[in-house]
Chain A
């Protein structure tokens, strides 16, 4: 067990309130929960990459960070017009 894995477990626990945000309440609140979970998962992927000493997998975190904006904007567009 190294500090990177301990930090990743601690941030992984943050996903529990995120799940509550995403699963309950108004549509707007759920969208905010989804955005927060995207941010946390990106940070979590970086920590897991270093925790398991698999540095090339840091590309996954970078890819998610870039794609997360597009996903957010699609959901925002639907929230504004259709949902």
Chain B
């Protein structure tokens, strides 16, 4: 009974994360702001989905594959979001490096330690 409740709670959290992530992505005005909300379904949502599957099926092939899906989603989202943000910046400015006049704090190459 406790296990069933835990499965339901995990599924509810996963669905909630997907909805918050979707609404956040949908409502943000700038695409770089929207990219941040992709982490919610891939990170927390997928982890709670894996917990629900492990509780439901026990340790086995399905659990291992769901954990693999979760791991792949987390890694690919990080890579994909970074590549997308970089492409958006390159498209807008023709470069992706920070310039001094942008007010971004960074270490100058010619400054020695």
Interfacial residues, chain A to chain B (CB-CB below 8 A): 3-4, 7, 10-11, 14, 17-18, 20-21, 26, 28-29, 31-33, 35-36, 39-40, 42-43, 46-47, 49-50, 55, 58-59, 61-62, 65-66, 68-69, 72-73, 76-77, 79-80
Contacts and interface: CB of A to CB of B under 8 A. Distances in A.
Q: Find the residue from B56, B83, B90 having the highest chain A CB count within 10 A.
A: B83
25 contacts: A7-B12, A11-B15, A17-B26, A20-B26, A31-B31, A31-B84, A33-B25, A35-B81, A36-B22, A36-B25, A39-B42, A43-B18, A43-B46, A46-B49, A46-B69, A50-B53, A50-B56, A55-B57, A58-B66, A62-B68, A62-B72, A65-B72, A69-B72, A69-B79, A80-B86
Contacts of A62: 65, 68-69, 72
A32 B109 CA distance: 33
A17 B22 contact: yes
A11 B11 CA distance: 11
A46 B53 contact: yes
Contact of B15 (A7, A18, A72, A77): A7
Given A65-B73, A72-B83, 4 more contacts: A17-B25, A32-B38, A43-B18, A58-B69
Contacts, number: 126
Contact of B91 (A3, A28, A49, A66): A28
Chain A contact residues: over half helix, strand or loop, or mixed? helix
Q: Find the residue from B12, B25, B46 having the highest chain A CB count within 10 A.
A: B25
B72 A55 contact: no
B84 A76 contact: yes
A4 B34 contact: no
